[in-house]
Amino acid sequence: MNRPLHSSRSGSLVIELMVTGALLAIVTASVIPTLGWLVRQRKFNQERQAATLEVGNLMEQLTALDWNELTPERVEQFQLSEPLQNQLSEPRLLITVDGDSDAAKHVLIQLSWELGPGRAAPPVRLAAWVYQRKSQ
């Protein structure tokens, strides 16, 4: 029962380790970009949620104004909150009031910002019709 001094599997451990290392490198190379995409997507979703909340709050403030105060000149005084201005990159707020009739005014709020250099985020828009309250 003499065994040979050198086994036929003497180099197989090194090859197995190299194959394992190569597979690990491939998996890591594919996971890292996916994690980067997830981080960017999460940031975009947080920005969009904050923008939607801000636009909703602005619309609530605008619809609470008296009928005669709801004018294009008055809505120019409304601005974004400072925390949202710091959170969004190059935010642009547009508020329009159109009142073709004496009974209703159309209010449109649009908030847009940049995701990155030259990449605009889809704007958040909210529209409402405001009707003149009848005095009792």
Report yes or no: 106 and 99 within 8 Å, Cβ to Cβ.
yes
Output the pLDDT for position 5.
Answer: 56
Which among 52, 105, 50, 104 is positioned nearest to 74, based on CA atoms? 105
Output the pLDDT for position 26.
Answer: 94
* Residue range 66-125, pLDDT digits in tens: 988 999 999 999 999 999 999 999 999 999 999 877 889 999 999 999 998 889 999 999
* Residue range 15-41, pLDDT digits in tens: 899 999 999 999 999 999 999 999 999
pLDDT at 61 over 60: yes
pTM of the model: 0.76
Instruction: Record the tokens describing residue 79, joined without a space.
Output: 């601005």
pLDDT at 9 over 80: no
Q: Given the structure tokens 């197989």, which residue do they identify? A: 12
